[in-house]
Amino acid sequence: MPRLTITLVSIATLWLSPSIYAEESITARLESHVAFLAGDTLEGRLAGSQGNHAAGNYIVSKLVEYGVKPVDGQTDFYQLFGEGYRNIIGLIPGTAPNNKTTVQYGAHYDHVGYGTKKTSLGEIGLIHNGADDNASGTSAILELCRHFQKHPPSNNVLVVLWDAEELGLLGSKHFVGAPVFPLDNISLAVNVDMIGQLTDGTLEVHGSRSGIGLRSVIANANLDHRIPMEYKDKVVRNSDHYAFLEHEIPALMFHTGLHERYHRPADDPDTLDYKGATRIVQFLIDFATALDNHNAPFKFRNDCLQDHRAAIRLHDTGITDLLDTNGITASYVPGKPSHLRVTNVKNSASRPRNWPTTGAKISTICNIPIDDIHGLAGAFQSLLDSPSLTFIPKRSAMRKTIKLQPIKSVQVAGAHLISDLGDPDVFYVQQVIIDSSSARMGISQGDTLIPRHTRNTDVLDWLARPKPRNAVFVERNGSILLFK
């Protein structure tokens, strides 16, 4: 029987990855790009400044070198707006394009110059070079362009280097408001913002549930790289991908997190983790290849802008399913303590008199407080057996407790599963029965089961008969585990 093992990336493994062969040259080029873009000469690349224009000219020279063309109808790469601001927009034509599957890759190239009270977290008046923010992401996009020159994509690739991001995401807002490329043809927007501080940390993935099916594509592209991933549940307006989400276009951001040099003069080229950035670029190359092979538009998930950590956890632990089973719709309200507010009750007229109505506050499920997500996850068996709910009616301070109808969970080989909100092919493990075949395989509560795309496997069918052993893999706390 296959069992889980943590497989370390070995030299042999590295040779299997098509994007690993150029590791040293990628690193050297990233260092070279960042050294120029985040050098003192450019004076922090403030939007509209001479240094910012010099950065833009450098980027355009590289796009030309890598065979990128202006988009149809444009004579050059610049989209002018505001007070001397310039988005840089180019197209890599596909060899057999599907007009609805263009992927947009981008990064903002501006920074904050010498800093102001609004833009600096450090000493104002010194050059803020912005090596991580965002010379690192800009350099990664240039490396993608170089890859596509050597390995032309089937589908069109739109490349945008955003300006005036630091002034309020102005570049991306301008683009979606006055597009020089049809927005309807963009299947996915990929934003790379600050990838220079991986070290021993994680690569944050924002927006993975904005497009149906994205989650498994990301995880499969990471199989050869094993970069620890942190999938962010809440989508926030913190970078240029957000403008696409507001126009109902799936969008992602990759980001290695904030740090003590963020928006300070100390964000210099010599502080970046170039080996980590190289790993991320290699992952992005494999991800871009997977997206090109996907060759179908991603459907925008309408609820993605309302996602937050608690809502996702309530879904994964079965609480949302429990409420749905009993005709209750509720929204999470943070606070001390947090609670669920009932927004709708189906067939309310036929419910018992002590049933919650619209406006009621649900404080506990199975006697566990709503804000104790870990405790609720451990109470899954109670949701199957005899669940209860405690609430406070809208116009009363008296708590009431009622019994609920148990949920009917999907259970295969001793594992209770629920599909991911953004990817029906990916399954979250809610509970594993002791001594079941799933338990003997090493599957644990909280694991995520993901099918390998090369195998075209259904996770539920595979779990009932787990062959071949490598057709499904596990993500546990952001790390990939394989069955042996």
What's the structural domain count of the chain?
A: 3
Is residue 262 in some structural domain?
yes
What integer pLDDT is reported at residue 388 of this predicted model? 96
Is residue 99 in some structural domain?
yes
The CA angle 143-189-263, to the nearest 5 degrees, is 70
Instruction: Please tell me whether residues 94 and 170 are part of one structural domain.
Output: yes
- As a whole number, mean pLDDT of residues 2-6 equals 56
**Percentage of the chain lying above the pLDDT 90 cut:** 86
Give yes or no for a contact between 170 and 81, defined as CB atoms under 8 angstroms apart. Answer: yes
Instruction: Please tell me whether residues 233 and 323 are part of one structural domain.
Output: no
What integer pLDDT is reported at residue 233 of this predicted model? 93
Task: For 86-124, write each residue's pLDDT tens digit.
Answer: 999 999 999 999 989 999 999 999 999 999 999 999 999
**End residue of a domain, out of 383, 403, 423:** 403
- Specify the amino acid at residue 418: I
**End residue of a domain, out of 379, 403, 427:** 403
What integer pLDDT is reported at residue 309 of this predicted model? 87
- Specify the amino acid at residue 330: A
- As a whole number, mean pLDDT of residues 315-325 equals 95
Which helix (H) or strand (E) is 174 found in, with range?
A: helix 170-177
Distance CA 441, CA 483 (A): 8
Instruction: Please tell me whether residues 240 and 352 are part of one structural domain.
Output: no
pLDDT at 81 over 50: yes
Instruction: Please tell me whether residues 72 and 98 are part of one structural domain.
Output: yes
3-state secondary structure 376-403: HHHCHHHHHHCCEEEEECCCCCCCEEEE
- As a whole number, mean pLDDT of residues 76-89 equals 97
Distance CA 450, CA 208 (A): 14
Least confidently predicted of 19-33, 405-419, 454-468: 19-33
Distance CA 60, CA 458 (A): 45
Instruction: Please tell me whether residues 298 and 347 are part of one structural domain.
Output: no
What CATH number is given to the structural domain containing 264?
3.40.630.10
Instruction: Please tell me whether residues 396 and 423 are part of one structural domain.
Output: no
Instruction: Please tell me whether residues 143 and 285 are part of one structural domain.
Output: yes
Is residue 311 in some structural domain?
no
- As a whole number, mean pLDDT of residues 28-32 equals 97
Instruction: Please tell me whether residues 293 and 220 are part of one structural domain.
Output: yes
Instruction: Please tell me whether residues 39 and 102 are part of one structural domain.
Output: yes
Instruction: Please tell me whether residues 173 and 282 are part of one structural domain.
Output: yes
**Percentage of the chain lying above the pLDDT 70 cut:** 95
Question: Which domain, by its residues, includes 269?
Answer: 4-304
Residues in the chain, how many? 484
What CATH number is given to the structural domain containing 325?
2.30.42
Distance CA 219, CA 427 (A): 13
What integer pLDDT is reported at residue 21 of this predicted model? 46
Distance CA 478, CA 476 (A): 5
Instruction: Please tell me whether residues 328 and 281 are part of one structural domain.
Output: no
Task: For 344-380, write each residue's pLDDT tens digit.
Answer: 999 888 888 899 999 999 999 999 999 898 899 899 9
**End residue of a domain, out of 403, 435, 459:** 403
pLDDT at 18 over 50: no
What distance separates the 2 farthest-apart alpha carbons in the chain?
74
- As a whole number, mean pLDDT of residues 56-63 equals 98
Strand partners for 209 = none
Nearest to 267 by CA among 104, 128, 438: 128
Is residue 309 in some structural domain?
no
What integer pLDDT is reported at residue 4 of this predicted model? 64
pLDDT at 398 over 70: yes
Task: For 206-248, write each residue's pLDDT tens digit.
Answer: 999 999 999 999 999 999 999 999 999 999 999 999 999 999 9
What integer pLDDT is reported at residue 479 of this predicted model? 94
φ, ψ of residue 372 in degrees (nearest 5)? -95, 75
Give yes or no for a contact between 37 and 55, defined as CB atoms under 8 angstroms apart. Answer: yes
DSSP secondary structure, 18-36, as one string: TTTTTHHHHHHHHHHHHHH
SS3 (DSSP) at 49: coil
Is residue 366 in some structural domain?
yes
Is residue 271 in some structural domain?
yes
> Residue 480 to residues 11, 113, 448: CA-CA distances in angstroms?
18, 40, 10
Q: How confident is the model at residue 396 (pLDDT cuts 50, 70, 90)?
A: confident
Is residue 254 in some structural domain?
yes
Instruction: Please tell me whether residues 248 and 324 are part of one structural domain.
Output: no
pTM of the model: 0.92
Better-predicted residue by pLDDT, 310 or 40: 40
Nearest to 38 by CA among 129, 174, 169: 129
Is residue 310 in some structural domain?
no
CB neighbourhood size of 27 (10 A): 16
